[in-house]
């Protein structure tokens, strides 16, 4: 029987999203499961003061080190980082980081296999890079290299010497001098990339994209967990955390692509699996789960917006158990593979 520990920066499983779903899935899959935080690890005794779910409630129990660790969140303090790194040296982790947006872009571009799906991107270091990009495009996007949930993304339109900036649901019209000051402020205070804006719009004019959520299964093979559209209620950022919304995948395809809906559906499903398998091979440590954000332009060309690890699933799809089941099965697979070694 496989023992799985869910590692979180939180101290209490009742405050951790989906902890119950993972405990329930482990029970159904015949695995032992407990929840723990870094501060509860005893390396000398190789024990952990964890939480197990029994008879309707979470209880604290001293348990031995697990066979596999599901690292559900990143450490938030230097002390936690040290503990997590020590655990990683001793026990297989299900999830491994992929790097920030720019490093992911460079990795895909260098390999070339999927480079034609990339939006040309450059790390922002000088204002002249913005100026050069506007010589070719009238609309651009500025993204934080390590951002998440669509925070601090700027959409910029240039009209003569005037710049209209949409950022965090706010609109500002700037002169060239004001815009230069804005850009220099970004450069001084953060790490950003710039790229041309790719128009992916519905028939009603709203911007949208697709989240392709893939996971490895109990045999270590990639499968599509779900594909869902994300629609911007206003502006161009379709992330649900920025006020966007979603709808059923096939319903949107029927509405937007008419008789081509099935071809688009199959294309996205195949792309999800082919890209996940290939992208996984670009890293030394295996990946377990990806959230691939893509757009489809007016010519029905696919563009990769970004690739995420530990992607979230909107509650409206009730997929918590599907995601948890896949993760538990993959953790059991990791344990079997580790035993063979």
The tokens describing 335, both together, are: 């344990």
Is residue 151 scored above 90 in pLDDT?
Answer: no
Q: Within 10 A of 209 (CB to CB), how many other CB atoms are there?
A: 23
Residue 245's pLDDT band (boundaries 50, 70, 90)?
Answer: confident
Q: What pLDDT does residue 18 have?
A: 87
Q: What pLDDT does residue 341 have?
A: 73
pLDDT digits (tens, 9 = 90+) for 174-230: 999 999 999 999 999 899 999 999 999 999 999 999 999 999 999 999 999 999 999
């Amino acid at each position: 029987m496989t023992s799985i520990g869910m590692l979180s920066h939180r101290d209490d499983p009742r405050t951790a999203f989906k902890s119950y779903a993972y405990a329930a899935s482990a029970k159904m899959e015949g695995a032992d499961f407990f929840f723990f935080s870094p501060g509860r690890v005893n390396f000398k005794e190789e024990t952990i003061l964890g939480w197990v779910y029994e008879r309707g409630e979470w209880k604290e129990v001293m348990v031995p080190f697990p066979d596999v660790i599901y690292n559900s969140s990143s450490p938030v303090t230097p002390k936690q980082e040290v503990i997590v790194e020590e655990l990683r040296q001793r026990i297989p982790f299900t999830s491994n980081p992929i790097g920030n947006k720019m490093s992911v872009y460079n990795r895909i571009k260098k390999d070339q296999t999927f480079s034609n799906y990339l939006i040309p991107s450059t790390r922002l270091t000088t204002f002249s890079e913005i100026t050069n990009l506007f010589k070719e495009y009238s609309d651009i996007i500025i993204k934080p290299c390590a951002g998440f949930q669509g925070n601090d993304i700027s959409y910029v339109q240039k009209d003569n010497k005037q710049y209209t900036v949409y950022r965090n649901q706010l609109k500002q019209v700037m002169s060239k001098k004001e815009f230069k000051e804005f850009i220099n402020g970004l450069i001084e205070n953060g790490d950003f990339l710039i790229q041309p804006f790719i128009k992916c719009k519905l028939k009603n004019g709203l911007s949208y994209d697709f989240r392709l959520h893939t996971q490895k299964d109990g045999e270590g093979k990639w499968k599509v967990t779900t594909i869902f559209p994300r629609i911007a209620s206003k502006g161009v950022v379709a992330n649900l955390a920025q006020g966007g919304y979603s709808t059923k995948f096939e319903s949107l395809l029927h509405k937007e692509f008419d008789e081509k809906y099935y071809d688009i559906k199959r294309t996205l499903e195949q792309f999800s699996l082919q890209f996940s398998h290939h992208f996984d091979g670009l890293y030394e440590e295996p990946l377990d789960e990806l959230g691939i954000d893509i757009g489809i332009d007016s010519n029905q060309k696919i563009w990769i917006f970004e690739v995420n690890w530990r992607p979230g699933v909107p509650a409206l799809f009730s997929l918590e158990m599907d995601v948890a089941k896949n993760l538990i099965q993959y953790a059991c697979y990791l344990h079997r593979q580790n035993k063979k070694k």
